[in-house]
């Protein structure tokens, strides 16, 4: 696909911004080239995936002019438990290969833009937090409206979700999976049992998992752990506590317009709770506790780690002598329902891809992997083998994919430019974790940044209206 002058100019301007902001230290981030790996799928010993019987039942399939694709990302999606069956389905259906072009996490966006402007676009990339609306506004992706047919059975029920991400009447994103459980709280179940504490999951199942009971469990855990305890929770906490009120920090109205809720009474209430657990030493960021490190949770220095559900596998594999649990973030007692943060995943086709048709065919297959009973059975087995979940853990996570059963809140806080995302991140980290003279109240943070945030939203609203 030839890149139009308008798209090229827009992507060039964005690439220039990233090249100036991504070059830290000795500038290595600006010069690192992506590496294409061999196409071996060599984990078949640990996670064998066989789709031959399924292919025999698929009937005739449309041929692709080009059955080969390149995926660009920081991990090899071809061997991920939930993706590998789809890769095998695609390769064996069309007789091609999906190559993996590896890039470091911190380099993935600016390197992608560099590939686009140099006419070396890959065919598939992951959804980013700022894919919508920021990267869409910069024309970094290909409109797939003419390539994916939403009337196909596998897309039933996902039409609204696809439209939610429409930009200027175009459809760049067709998520193939969604969940009402975005981030969660992971805890050392073995230690909870040893300390004689209620299992948080039992409280959740009894509809008793609230801000108050969450706080009480942190206090009880720290008392039981004694001097070894550094705090109650580390990792992520701010956004998910805010979402539990039913009001996101940044959301959208019924017309898709971006809305700033920083002055909302619900957000204020959540911020006050975050300040409270910070001041009581429950929310902490001490040495070794800045992000999602394993040791503080495994050693009993903290009761909970706020993190994406993907992290549970790391604990299972690293600490076989412990049992780890996961539970959603607690609900706000004053909200009218139990609200969950929404999450979804899928692939984008970058602007300038030479094989849009093939990429769209792969996205279609990935959605089929979530809907066709035969394929779903293979995918589920692959996930269990790869992630090492217990059946109970797998069933617990799977139930949240029935998104129609949950009251979900769409959080747009990180959909914008780097400056805006950094400001929001700094605000949430400050209100939940800052100590000493660095502490600022939510009112002070809001006064400092609300105008900047609103100006940003006004700009994006204008861009979205123009298309």
pLDDT tens digits along 88-145: 999 999 999 999 999 999 999 999 999 999 999 999 999 999 999 999 999 999 999 9
Per-residue pLDDT tens over the stretch 261-271 = 999 999 999 99
- Cα-Cα-Cα-Cα torsion 453, 459, 465, 467, nearest 10 degrees, comes to -120
Cβ proximity of 134 and 413 under 8 Å: no
What DSSP letter does each residue of 241-298 carry, written as one string?
HHHTTT--SEEE-TTS-EEE-TT-HHHHHHHHHHHHHHHTT-B---TT-SSS-SHHHH
User: Please, what CATH class does the domain formed by 5-175+348-389 belong to?
Assistant: alpha beta
Cβ proximity of 218 and 304 under 8 Å: yes
Per-residue pLDDT tens over the stretch 138-169 = 999 999 999 999 999 999 999 999 999 999 99
Q: Please say if the pLDDT value at position 184 is more than 70.
A: yes
Rounded (10°) angle between helices 5-21 and 108-117: 140
Question: Domain 183-341+409-466 is of which CATH architecture?
Answer: 3-Layer(aba) Sandwich (3.40)
Give residue 188's Cα distance to chain centre: 23
Domains 5-175+348-389 and 183-341+409-466 alike in fold: yes
Angle CA(109)–CA(112)–CA(118) in degrees, nearest 5?
A: 145
Cβ proximity of 178 and 342 under 8 Å: yes
% of residues, the chain, pLDDT over 90: 80
Per-residue pLDDT tens over the stretch 76-89 = 999 999 999 999 99
Closest CA to 201 of 430, 429, 396: 396
* Domain boundary assignment for the chain: 5-175+348-389, 183-341+409-466
Computed over every residue of the chain, the mean pLDDT equals 89
The per-residue pLDDT for 45 is 73
The per-residue pLDDT for 254 is 87
Q: Please say if the pLDDT value at position 435 is more than 60.
A: yes
Q: Please say if the pLDDT value at position 72 is more than 90.
A: yes
% of residues, the chain, pLDDT over 70: 88
Q: Please say if the pLDDT value at position 35 is more than 90.
A: no
Q: What CA–CA distances, in Å, run from 221 to 58, 204, 305, 416?
A: 53, 17, 13, 38
Expressed in angstroms, the distance from the first to the final Cα of the chain is: 21
Q: Please say if the pLDDT value at position 39 is more than 70.
A: no
């Amino acid at each position: 696909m030839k890149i139009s002058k308008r798209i090229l100019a827009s992507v060039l301007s964005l690439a220039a911004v990233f090249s100036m902001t991504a070059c830290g230290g000795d500038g290595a981030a600006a010069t690192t080239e992506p590496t294409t790996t061999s196409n071996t799928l060599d984990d078949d010993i640990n996670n064998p995936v066989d789709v031959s019987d399924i292919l025999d039942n698929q009937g005739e399939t449309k041929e692709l002019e080009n059955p080969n694709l390149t995926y660009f990302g920081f991990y090899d999606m071809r061997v991920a438990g939930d993706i590998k069956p789809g890769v095998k389905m695609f390769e064996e259906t069309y007789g091609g290969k999906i190559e993996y072009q590896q890039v470091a996490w911190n380099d993935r966006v600016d390197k992608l833009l560099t590939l686009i402007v140099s006419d070396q676009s890959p065919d598939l990339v992951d959804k980013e937090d700022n894919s919508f609306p920021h990267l869409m506004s910069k024309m970094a992706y290909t409109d797939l409206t003419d390539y994916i047919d939403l009337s196909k059975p596998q897309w039933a029920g996902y039409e609204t979700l696809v439209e939610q991400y429409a930009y200027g009447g175009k459809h760049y994103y067709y998520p193939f999976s969604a969940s009402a459980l975005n981030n969660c709280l992971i805890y050392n179940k073995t230690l909870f049992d040893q300390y004689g504490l209620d299992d948080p999951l039992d409280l959740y199942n009894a509809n008793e998992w609230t801000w108050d009971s969450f706080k009480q469990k942190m206090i009880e855990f720290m008392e039981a752990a004694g001097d070894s305890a550094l705090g109650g929770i580390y990792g992520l906490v701010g956004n998910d506590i805010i979402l539990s009120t039913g009001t996101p920090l940044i959301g959208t109205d019924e017309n898709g317009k971006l809305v700033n809720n920083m002055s909302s009474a619900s957000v204020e209430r959540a911020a006050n709770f975050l300040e409270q657990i910070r001041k009581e030493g429950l929310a902490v960021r001490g040495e070794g506790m800045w992000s999602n490190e394993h040791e503080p949770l495994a050693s009993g220095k903290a009761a909970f780690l706020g993190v994406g559900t993907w992290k549970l596998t790391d604990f299972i594999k690293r600490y076989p002598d412990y049992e780890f649990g996961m539970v959603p973030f607690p609900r706000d007692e004053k909200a009218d329902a139990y609200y969950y943060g929404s999450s979804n995943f899928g692939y984008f086709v970058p602007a300038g891809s030479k094989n849009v048709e093939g990429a769209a065919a792969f996205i279609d297959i990935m959605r089929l992997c979530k809907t066709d009973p035969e394929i779903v059975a293979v995918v589920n087995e692959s996930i269990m083998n790869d992630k090492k979940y217990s059946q109970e853990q797998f069933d617990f996570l799977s139930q949240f994919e029935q998104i129609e059963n949950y009251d979900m809140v769409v959080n747009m806080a990180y959909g914008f430019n780097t400056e805006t995302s950094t400001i929001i991140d700094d605000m949430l980290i400050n209100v939940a974790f800052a100590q000493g003279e660095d502490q600022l109240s939510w009112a002070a943070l809001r006064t400092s940044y609300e105008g900047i945030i609103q100006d940003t939203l006004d700009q994006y609203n204008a861009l979205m209206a123009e298309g």
